[in-house]
Structure 1
Amino acid sequence: MITTSTPGKLYLAGEYAVVENGNPAIIAAVNRFVTVTIAENQERCSITSQQYENHRVHWERVNSRMIVDDRDNPFQYIIAAIQVTEDYVQALGKPIQKYHLSVNSELDSGTGKKYGLGSSAAVTVATIKALCQLYQLSLSKVQLFKLAAIAHFNVQGNGSLGDVASSVFGGLITYSSFDRQWLAEFRDKIALPELLKLEWPRLEITPLQIPSVLRFLVGWTGSPASTSRLIDKVELKKGKHGPQYERFLHESNKCVREITNGFRQNNSKLIMQNINRNRQLLQSLSTLAGVTIETPQLTKLIDIADHFGGAAKTSGAGGGDCGIVLIEANYDIAGLQAAWQRAGIEPLNLAIYNYEGEPSD
């Protein structure tokens, strides 16, 4: 039996801009996980999840192809991960196996609350990591990211794939998105083993360290949001406001670079100034595109954090889900979290998660 786990994620800065090729974001892996277990099964292949207790997906093998009973299927990302990984396996000339795959996720609460921690990316990565063990594949972290990015993009069709990078690398990273049009063009022209070895245009993934004087806090507003739908809405409007959108990209890029410098220089003041600046940029994008990024409850979360001396903003696409705060450790963190609770905001017991004993490439 094989078991693998991968962390969820939260964006610290650079949301929306990171969707455009080469624009950076800063992302934190967090200490809640998706766990995938594989057990060999010679009779029939299946997928189950503790989150869907009454649902099981079966598939058959027809000439090594995966044929899925797709009726009412909640497991699109898992299936995409299996299909892409087994394309890679077959390209290496290895035989395909039968197995049962089960999934358990801590990224949502036990009562089904969705926190926006990147469960689709985490389950994609965890599935591929488990299959790499099953098929005895030796991939670098960059190659694992590339394989998972292909699988995830096959399902979602938009987004930066930064959440995939975060689940692969763990810790705190700066991530610049690769050219997805380039990938679409070469995906079917180049064998997967060779595609994973190539340099992908504009892709950058670099580890960072948070200064020891800063604490990372997360509050949940009680309202889930759809990242892909919000990205689609901004995508529809950006052509209509070309110069303003380009200005947003330029300023976001500059802001993320300053935060990155702050992490590298151990400069908490520079980091917090630019977290606040990034919030302002997202507010301007919200007005420009006519989408709600910072909901009233997120505004309340940020205002409370500001009152206690923290730097706060929405995380990810916004529209609900979580807000993040960076605050100095000697400030009144307990008071801040108590004020959140009085305002109907749930403090989440999360920390930045680093893989132990694994090379970062």
Structure 2
Amino acid sequence: MQLKASAPASLMLLGEFGVLHNKLALVCAVDKRIHVSLTARSDAAIHIHSALGNYSSKLTKLSVEKPFQFVLAAIKTYQARYKTGFDLTIESEFSSTIGLGSSAAVTVATLAALVTSLNIKMTPLDLVRQARHVIRQVQGTGSGADAAAAVYGGMVAYQSQPLFAEKLPAIHPLSVLYSGHKTPTVEVIKIVRERYRTHSDLFQSVLHCIGKCAEDGIKYARRKDWVKLGEVMNVQQGMMESLGVSTPLLYHMVMDLRKQPKIVGAKISGSGLGDCVIGLGEMQLDYKNANSAVQPVLVQMSPQGVQCEKS
């Protein structure tokens, strides 16, 4: 028996940091995917193959280790249900160094393959919940917003607690620029927490504003009022700067996008201090940044969420 599962990469549109404090967020899936193939074995071995390396172990002796920590943590969730092992082959259409939610995508795709192979019925929201649990096991924190995008596809309104996810009935052109480096999200969260350690009231006020941006943005996305959504993205960029997660380079990248005639709003996407900025609308094809490290990322929103099929 062979199973093939895949899940999309994702981008945060609105709600970064606020979503970690149970505020709403707006996230979207994009048209780059991670593919996982599961092939049953007759012995008790687990073999993982990918461009990042290989891993082999007996089913009963699995240990969660890099670079397959999310995959192995997902497997351990169902380890006791397997009597024999399997081969897992992972292929990605994008680099894990660019912040497109690769951890969530590979976690969701792996879990989808596992539950399908075990004939377990699972709702989309339960799959989000389980993927979020795996991500938190591995890295200690995580809202689950990128997992929701990977499960549902398209634009997704999301809240971590109480857990809520709604796929919105629209997508829109996007422009994405990568800054040339990425600071791990967990590190950025620590930096922000330390920055506001003695200013907790101010921090809560900023989080409230970010949550309100996401709430309004979801409303405008439902209405397909893209100009208003872009305006809200511009407002949240100011909140990101207040949190200290912008840099001179990211600021100039955002300003570059806002100058583009078809882009109605632009901001940092994700935790900041590097990584990506996004613009709502299409960028001119001949865009060049003065900093050679800055590169366009050729992705668009995609309505396709997780998929799994037996072959």
Partner letter of residue 68 of structure 2? F
Q: Per-residue deviation at 1:208?
A: 1.8
Q: Per-residue deviation at 1:280?
A: 0.4
Structure number with larger C-alpha Rg: 1
Alignment identity in percent?
A: 26
Which structure has the higher relative contact order (CA within 8 Å, separation 6+)?
Answer: 2
In the alignment, the residues of structure 2 paired with residue 69 and residue 250 of structure 1 have an alpha-carbon distance, to the nearest angstrom, of: 40
Residue-by-residue CA offset, 1:145-165 (whole Å, 9 max, x unaligned): 112111111111112121111
Check the 8 A contact 1:46/1:56 in 2, yes or no: no
The RMSD of aligned alpha carbons is 2.1
Question: 5+ residue gaps in structure 1?
Answer: 179-201, 287-292
Superposition pairs for residues 215-234 of structure 1, below 5 Å?
215-234=173-192
TM-score computed with the length of structure 2 as normaliser: 0.90
1:190 aligns with: none
Superposition pairs for residues 131-170 of structure 1, below 5 Å?
131-170=114-153
Partner letter of residue 193 of structure 2? E
2:227 aligns with: 269
Check the 8 A contact 2:209/2:239 in 1, yes or no: yes
Number of residue pairs aligned between Structure 1 and Structure 2: 303
Partner letter of residue 105 of structure 1? S
1:60 aligns with: 58
Superposition pairs for residues 1-361 of structure 1, below 5 Å?
1-20=2-21, 22-52=22-52, 55-61=53-59, 66-68=60-62, 73-86=66-79, 90=81, 96-108=83-95, 114-178=97-161, 202-210=162-170, 214-286=172-244, 293-309=245-261, 310=263, 311-327=265-281, 333-334=283-284, 337-344=285-292, 345-355=294-304
Residue-by-residue CA offset, 1:170-207 (whole Å, 9 max, x unaligned): 111111112xxxxxxxxxxxxxxxxxxxxxxx111112
Q: 1:239 to 1:341 in 2, by over 3 A?
A: closer
Q: Per-residue deviation at 1:348?
A: 1.6
Q: 1:222 to 1:29 in 2, by over 3 A?
A: same
Partner letter of residue 214 of structure 2? V
Check the 8 A contact 2:150/2:306 in 1, yes or no: no
Check the 8 A contact 2:8/2:304 in 1, yes or no: no
TM-score computed with the length of structure 1 as normaliser: 0.78
In the alignment, the residues of structure 2 paired with residue 50 and residue 147 of structure 1 have an alpha-carbon distance, to the nearest angstrom, of: 23
The alignment partner of 1:115 has SS state of coil
